[in-house]
Structure 1
């Protein structure tokens, strides 16, 4: 790609910051951002504005452990953009959390919200910890102290957290309660993904998986493939992967492979997903030892010949080393960043349609928006209404991106970045800059 210059001759599309590993989530995001910037002919100032986070917050989170010792954890919150509205994004608990990763995820949230027409900006947060090593009491104290450190960041009109990796509705309940105690009033709209009894929304738990299925069905339609005549492989059997597999099974698709952290399982005749879900529930959420399929590795699952491959596990699963071995006709990205930027061209050359993460897994933030709206109104919808509105918004977003793809003769991922970035840029131009 040419290095675009401004009138003064100073290059900027290749100068977002220090050079990072070429397969890092941040650099993958920036590589795609640069391509869209070229298509849209963004000027230097707009490029710098949209590629820079509004706010990066790093905090120390000291807590008293059950042993009586004090331990300090590192916490992060990045507001990438708030032009479209309050920032929105999950909080993850993981020993691998770092500022670079959080920056990338926050930017993806900005484009994701723009694509599905949700009036939020993008944010992301995390605490560097291993929640499996913490007791329930330690986890609660960690969550409450992290929230207390973020009181000037969080707010129903400022920044709205949600569950992410290793966080759940209980974590969100503690965040809501801590914020409410300090605000001296119950503020349910400060987080989403809460328990129903605390103002959560019906349909939220399955929203991301349901959104993946909606856009997968739209992609199958573009390829002329009927749902009941297609084969599917799903990498990852957590909330997103298991729900996606279950709903595709209900559509009549033959799910030939599933996997979790323990490994993969393949059956060319199709896996009975309800039985697999029951098996996992009886084995502490693990598929390990699942008897009705052949054991394979997660890497082998990615290479299975199928109509639809749904990577719903972690980042960077498909990269330049294995992209040429992918044998799917459609990839629907259930996870954030499962395909690296340097694999995009390889997949395109193979004629594989990639439904990008910033569209495919946007069902979660869409229903989070519904939850926020319901909390603000104090009036709650049925699950049927939530699902109906989710399906409509996801399908509308897919159709809009497909039109953008055809207009510019680019891939669906490139169309997603072009559409999302252009929407935020045009909004900024209309609002102007406060000086």
Structure 2
């Protein structure tokens, strides 16, 4: 079975495999099971034909990958993006396996996607695409099998269509088949802001650990969707100054601090930061030269290359995105004493509140947003403390420490379950 899926050395799956290779020497008695982590359990590729508004038929390629289910049902988002491919979805599913285990949730890792530009579809076309895709992957999803959620290019409305399609196929309402749903369909309070909140919680905690004051610290954010915008707002509320923001439409900055509420409104109206009046425009590459203390890559993977890592001026990198730092760039950041809070803990707020939503759906009993945020804060602080302690014990980076914890938990579950048939 060839798991290279192309020769791109910067591919997301190759990045993940390099991360596993780095943690392997720490796994001692569990090393016999290391290949469990290097092979996805199940990869489903589906054709998604839909009738367009003009009557033509178009075909889209969709994926659902279940990387590892040793600790529980699969958990992971659905991505609609023109660059989605199997390499990327495999890596994202694997990072979900690690992420769930770091936070000690009873989930495995999964991920899905459709190669499509959702901005080019009408609402009716988007619904048709979602319902057909859901029907195609329905044999392998379910509240005790694999639970999708929103990701890049998808949202609560799309999760509602997925839930309804799946429920229609089984003949009764199954709210727990997806998370990130609208509140009135069994969604959880606090879910939309959870990932950005997690970036802030873990970032604040590590800043305190390295004696970096948040108040007055300058912040740069790449990606200004749900994750980046919420993290930016929370850091600003804590006294930080968000000076640079970059998204798909361009790069803007204001050394005195961007007016974030106005920027959020501008992005909602114009679908990007481009054209924001109260800021100066910069070249996209200049973003990585920003004079800031905190850098938050919250867009797509493979953004911090070796060249960019050599130019960063930040003291902390908070990985709001999945896989934004290439392994070789990680080494550069270590040499330069820049602390990286890895994606598998930094952006784990989303999957944590997804877990809360799943639990609430199973019990048909719902919590207040205050209760959810309280539980989220407590769980993430415990997880980041565990990672910090592991890093001190093994004299390694926070990323390696997080992987040590996660891989031990996953492989111990694999060992205890055994291999069937023996």
TM-score range, shorter chain: over 0.9
Matched residues in 2 for 1:196 and 1:152: separation?
A: 26
Q: CA RMSD in A?
A: 1.4
Contact map agreement 2:24 2:31 (CA 8 A) in 1: no
Q: Which residue of 2 aligns with 1:77?
A: 64
Shift of 1:345: 0.6
Q: Does 1:418 align with 2:404?
A: yes
**Where do 1:395-414 residues align within 5 Å?**
395-414=381-400
Matched residues in 2 for 1:218 and 1:406: separation?
A: 16
Structure 1 residues 249 and 60: alpha-carbon distance in aligned structure 2, compared to 1, 3 A threshold: same
Q: Does 1:184 align with 2:167?
A: no
Q: Which moved more, 1:15-24 or 1:207-216?
A: 15-24
Q: Does 1:331 align with 2:331?
A: no
Contact map agreement 1:20 1:27 (CA 8 A) in 2: no
Q: Which residue of 1 aligns with 2:332?
A: 346
Q: Does 1:378 align with 2:364?
A: yes
Contact map agreement 1:235 1:298 (CA 8 A) in 2: no
Shift of 1:187: 0.3
TM-score (norm 2): 0.97
Shift of 1:218: 0.7
Structure 2 residue aligned with 1:264, among 248, 251, 254?
251
TM-score (norm 1): 0.94
Matched residues in 2 for 1:327 and 1:42: separation?
A: 40
Shift of 1:43: 6.0
Structure 1 residues 19 and 394: alpha-carbon distance in aligned structure 2, compared to 1, 3 A threshold: same
Q: Which residue of 2 aligns with 1:28?
A: 15
Structure 2 residue aligned with 1:280, among 264, 267, 278?
267
Structure 1 residues 143 and 223: alpha-carbon distance in aligned structure 2, compared to 1, 3 A threshold: same
Cα offsets for 1:32-74 (capped at 9, x unmatched) = 1011112213666412222111100011111111121221111
Q: Which residue of 1 aligns with 2:205?
A: 218
Matched residues in 2 for 1:412 and 1:31: separation?
A: 16
Shift of 1:172: 0.4
Cα offsets for 1:377-414 (capped at 9, x unmatched) = 00001011111111111111111000111111110111
Q: Which residue of 2 aligns with 1:230?
A: 217
Shift of 1:298: 3.1
**Where do 1:354-369 residues align within 5 Å?**
354-369=340-355
Matched residues in 1 for 2:75 and 2:143: separation?
A: 10
Shift of 1:166: 0.5
**Where do 1:146-225 residues align within 5 Å?**
146-225=133-212
Q: Secondary structure of the equivalent of 1:227?
A: coil
Contact map agreement 2:30 2:408 (CA 8 A) in 1: no
Structure 1 residues 96 and 185: alpha-carbon distance in aligned structure 2, compared to 1, 3 A threshold: same
Contact map agreement 1:23 1:342 (CA 8 A) in 2: no
Q: Which residue of 2 aligns with 1:302?
A: 288
Matched residues in 2 for 1:147 and 1:200: separation?
A: 18
Q: Which moved more, 1:45-54 or 1:99-108?
A: 45-54
Structure 1 residue aligned with 2:95, among 87, 100, 108?
108
Matched residues in 2 for 1:107 and 1:350: separation?
A: 28
Matched residues in 2 for 1:423 and 1:25: separation?
A: 23
Contact map agreement 2:93 2:110 (CA 8 A) in 1: yes
Contact map agreement 1:16 1:48 (CA 8 A) in 2: no
Matched residues in 2 for 1:298 and 1:369: separation?
A: 36
Contact map agreement 2:5 2:87 (CA 8 A) in 1: no
Matched residues in 1 for 2:258 and 2:308: separation?
A: 25
Matched residues in 2 for 1:258 and 1:339: separation?
A: 18
Matched residues in 2 for 1:91 and 1:85: separation?
A: 19
Shift of 1:272: 2.2
- Name stretches of at least 5 consecutive residues in structure 2 with no aligned partner: none
Shift of 1:23: 1.2
Cα offsets for 1:353-387 (capped at 9, x unmatched) = 00011111111000000000000000001011111
Structure 1 residues 76 and 42: alpha-carbon distance in aligned structure 2, compared to 1, 3 A threshold: farther
Matched residues in 2 for 1:111 and 1:48: separation?
A: 14
Q: Which residue of 2 aligns with 1:58?
A: 45
Shift of 1:434: 2.3
Matched residues in 1 for 2:246 and 2:228: separation?
A: 9
Q: Which moved more, 1:54-63 or 1:254-263?
A: 254-263
Structure 1 residues 42 and 165: alpha-carbon distance in aligned structure 2, compared to 1, 3 A threshold: farther
- Name stretches of at least 5 consecutive residues in structure 1 with no aligned partner: 1-14
Shift of 1:16: 6.1
Matched residues in 2 for 1:378 and 1:191: separation?
A: 14
Structure 2 residue aligned with 1:38, among 25, 32, 37?
25
